[in-house]
Amino acid sequence: MNLMLEPKPPRELYPTDILFQSRYWSDVKARLGWKTYAFEIESPRKSNKDMLVIVKPFGPDAMAAYVPQGPEFVPDKEEYGTYLEKLSESILGHVDANITFIRYDLPWESPYAKEMQQQNWCDFPESRIREMRMNFGTKHWNLKKAPVDVTVANTCVVDLDGDEEYLLSRMKPKTRYNIRLAERKGVRVQIASVESLPTFYRLYCQTAERNGFHASEYRYFSALFSEKRRQRYMPEILLLLATYNGDALAGAIIALSEKRALFLHGASSNHKREFMAPYILHWKAILYARARQCDTYDMGAISPSDDPSHSFYGMYRFKTGFGGRFVHNSGSWDYPVKKDVYRNFRNWEMVLSQRERGLGVF
């Protein structure tokens, strides 16, 4: 397989519905201190695709190259490994010489997706089995399943076809009931200005403490809204707040990129939880995305199946109530370069992930 990368400025990245491969995301990460690269992917298939790569040090002599939700071009499932191997070697010829490993957060469908849905598997096979399949046909057998998935491997996607009644009819009865309950109680959802971001962040920190995940710093959320004026190439980034009598009960940050709406972050108050504000918040987000001609509303991470022992089971129960379909992607994969340093990082990352969800370099 012949594959070459042609460097280009990140500002020349093609429009895409993958937020994390966009020019906008390059700008966000640059403001947060990452170095960004963009490449045209040249192959015999003429895929007309490009790729964003971001680089950040995580120690005095170590750097990670990260491809967030990329590459966008999807090879045949039997060629996943060989394609990533070729791509990795090409990346190493263009980025910092001190790279310790490359991490891909693949948006590609998992080779096990069909079995998981048809045979009701509780989870993916163990990493050792997945690595054997991914590396089959490669020269170096160097692709490793990352200890954690940086964004999401399993998600719930709501298709926005049909009218409002049709969207409601696909939901579970309890979800419809809770939406109407929130309406009867007087919960209102509005698009908030960036001046309300501290209010959202307060709710977000409450949610992180309540659910036991690591809270990102405020500067990350600020970077999402740092553009003073929306440029043509930018996705639409919305801050939604659900309120009752002026009190914020829930919030969400939604990205509308091309034909796809993506639920980025959510938060809810410790108080008045019986008002069911998150239900009406997502319903209004779905209606807004539909009005903006989006085809899908991606609700983000869920557990791989209806497994109460999984840490994401609560999100599974809540999000699947909105009538979406399951998407099982391949998750995060690493291509180690400095094996000893990578091994130490991997062990450290595993310890962090066991201590607190969401805590890590990426």
Q: Is residue 317 part of a domain?
A: no
CA nearest 152: which of 68, 30, 257, 26?
Answer: 68
Same domain, yes or no, for 335 and 289? no
Cβ atoms of 62 and 303 within 8 Å: the answer is no
Q: What is the reported pTM?
A: 0.93
Give the 3-state secondary structure of residue 27.
helix
Contacts of 86 (CB under 8 A, 6+ apart): 1, 3
Same domain, yes or no, for 206 and 187? yes
C-alpha–C-alpha distance, residues 52 and 69, integer Å: 9
C-alpha–C-alpha distance, residues 325 and 129, integer Å: 26
Cβ atoms of 168 and 158 within 8 Å: the answer is no
Give the 3-state secondary structure of residue 102.
strand
Residue count of the chain, please give it. 362
C-alpha–C-alpha distance, residues 52 and 30, integer Å: 12
Tell me the one-letter amino acid at 231: Q
Q: Is residue 111 part of a domain?
A: yes
Q: What is the pLDDT of residue 360?
A: 59
Cβ atoms of 38 and 52 within 8 Å: the answer is yes
Cβ atoms of 52 and 22 within 8 Å: the answer is yes
Q: Which helix (H) or strand (E) holds 107?
A: strand 99-109
Q: Is residue 323 part of a domain?
A: no
C-alpha–C-alpha distance, residues 263 and 238, integer Å: 10
Query: Chain-wide mean pLDDT for the chain?
Result: 92
Cβ atoms of 249 and 272 within 8 Å: the answer is yes
Give the 3-state secondary structure of residue 358.
coil
Residue 79: HSE in the Cβ half-sphere, 13 Å Cα cutoff: 10
C-alpha–C-alpha distance, residues 240 and 238, integer Å: 6
Q: Is residue 276 part of a domain?
A: yes
Among 250, 272, 294, the domain boundary falls at 294
Same domain, yes or no, for 180 and 225? yes
CATH at residue 116: 3.40.630.30
Same domain, yes or no, for 165 and 272? yes
Token output for 142: 């160097």
Q: Which helix (H) or strand (E) holds 84?
A: helix 80-92
Helix residue spans in 151-226 (DSSP H)? 164-169, 173-185, 197-211, 218-224
Same domain, yes or no, for 132 and 236? no
Same domain, yes or no, for 10 and 126? yes
Among 294, 310, 339, the domain boundary falls at 294
Same domain, yes or no, for 258 and 340? no
Q: What is the pLDDT of residue 233?
A: 66
Question: Between helices 173-185 and 277-291, what is the axis angle to 10°?
Answer: 100
Same domain, yes or no, for 10 and 138? yes
Same domain, yes or no, for 142 and 176? no
Q: Is residue 307 part of a domain?
A: no
Same domain, yes or no, for 74 and 200? no
Same domain, yes or no, for 263 and 335? no
C-alpha–C-alpha distance, residues 200 and 334, integer Å: 34
Among 269, 294, 319, the domain boundary falls at 294
Domain that holds residue 211: 161-294
Give me the number of domains the chain comprises: 2
C-alpha–C-alpha distance, residues 273 and 252, integer Å: 16
| Residues in the chain with pLDDT values less than 50 | none
Same domain, yes or no, for 30 and 103? yes
Q: Is residue 322 part of a domain?
A: no
Q: What is the pLDDT of residue 196?
A: 97
Segment 310-362, tens digit of pLDDT: 889 999 999 999 999 999 999 999 999 999 999 999 998 888 777 666 555 66
